[in-house]
Amino acid sequence: MNLAIVGMQFGDEGKGKIVDFLSENFDIVARFSGGSNAGHTVVYEGNEVKFHLLPSGVLRGKIGILGNGMVIDLKKLQREMEMVRELGVEPKILISSRAHVVTSFHRILDEMEDEIIKIGTTKQGIGPSYAAKHTRIGIRIADIFQGDLEKKLKLLSEIHRLELSEEEIKKEARELKETGEKMKGMVEDTEIWLNNAIDSRKSVLFEGSQASFLDIDFGTYPYVTSSNTTVGGIVTGLGIPPSKIDKVMGIAKAYTTRVGAGPFPTELHGEDGEKLRERGREYGATTGRPRRVGHLDLVLLRYATVINGIQEIALTKVDVLSGMKRVKIAIKYECDGEKKRFPPANINNCKPVYEEIDGWDNIEDKNLQRFIELIEKETGAKVKIVSYGASREDTIMR
């Protein structure tokens, strides 16, 4: 079976842990979008390991695919691979020859642009890399090994008026080639390799980055990432047909968090928000920024279930809400006087309509079961996994 994992909220739902937990039963783990702006945290032999580019399943010795839909900072990838080796695991990685490269020029542009538009990017060069890809001036992994790399970098510099010297362009080309040569043996036409592997009955876990409401089309635009993070991104970001995705699992927290700017209808402010942030250790894996926190939003989960075709849900961090007397859940939105079960394109003026239920004290509490049943009823998807801690062991299959 080939299983897709997608985030159902604004990211940081615990996809890294769930992928690590599930990957034991798969041959291959494949990333299809994003770059080093992603942050997936896994607990390995008592240590917290933070991935940004590598698929989380590499710690179990699985083959990791970095698909054509990704934008890859090669130096950061190299450092991440060294980190895994220091843990005593040799990462088995294949990098798509068609994936685009994040250069230092893209990172400069990211910082410059976010000063103007102020959407709170991670400043990892992700947006400018995707922009270059779509304006046909991007640099792919395959281009590193061609003779015209300096020419491509110069074009990128001139179009964006970066006013870089010839020596700076040569230095960037030299460093890209040096790093690329070290990884040349991992570069593959992964779309052919992956399709052949599936046809040979190898099982694949498709690992999403970010989440549905950061999707460039379906998220809270313009406060989104620069790629398709929903299930459709698997098809375009790995080069496989939809018929090879057997099941879609959505990952959702028992509450909601968001990093950076953008609308957040159920956001908690003040002391209540600070308490939840501290209880959940809600700080970004990539930037370290404190996450905004709020109540569970079933309007978002309902929509994410529809657009991704989610059949099963992994519900994470239920332990963070343990001990609360009452738990608030957004059931609908009120937008300009209208009640909505699904979020409109602009949710800035939407206010949540809440339902309250009794809280729970532990994983076996009947009130937690009622919470889960409410999620299942409102989304139509089965809560298959319940996670109540950071380690692999703190997980229940239902």
Active-site amino acid positions:
12, 40
Run of H or E including 130:
helix 126-134
How many C-beta neighbours within 10 Å does residue 65 have?
A: 28
| Integer Cα distance of 17 and 56 in angstroms | 8
129-139 in b/e form (b: 16+ CB < 10 A) is: bbbbbeeeebb
Cβ count near 392 (within 10 Å): 17
End-to-end CA distance of the chain: 19
Tokens of 287: 């930037």
d(CA 155, CA 114): 22
CA distance 299 to 320: 21
Q: What is the sign, positive or negative, of the torsion defined by CA atoms of 92, 98, 99, 103? A: positive
User: Side chain identity at 369, as an amino acid letter?
Assistant: Q
Q: What is the DSSP string of 8-48?
A: SSSS-SSHHHHHHHHGGG-SEEEE-SB-TT--EEEEETTEE
Task: Give the tokens for residue 355.
Answer: 């339902």
8 A C-beta contact, residue 53 and residue 72: yes
Q: Which amino acid is at 358?
A: D
